[in-house]
Amino acid sequence: MSGEIMEFPMDSHDVAELDRLAAIYADGDRDAFLREAIRFMASRERAERLQRIQARVHDTIHPPSTVDCDDADPTELSEEGRTP
């Protein structure tokens, strides 16, 4: 596989954690682990972006009511709104 070689400093604790996780998830292959971590984080970012879009659509279709039921004073409810 051809690609760009990257070098960056890492704290010794981070190197140990990278090695530990690479051993668990990629048979000790740091490169394979980092590629998988990038795919995982990209997937997570897409899911979070979709969730934000869905929330905006939901808020557009069903805007929040002006009275939040959790904050409503039960003494202010009309007779129809009271629970038996």
The DSSP annotation for the chain comes to: -----------HHHHHHHHHHHHHHHTT-HHHHHHHHHHHHHHHHHHHHHHHHHHHHHHHHSPPPSS-GGG--GGG--GGG---
pLDDT of amino acid 65: 72
| pLDDT-based confidence at residue 72 (cuts at 50, 70, 90) | low
Whether residue 32 contacts residue 40, with contact meaning beta carbons closer than 8 Å, is answered with no
Mean pLDDT on 31-41: 97
Kindly report the average pLDDT of the chain as a whole number: 86
Is the model's pTM score more than 0.85? no
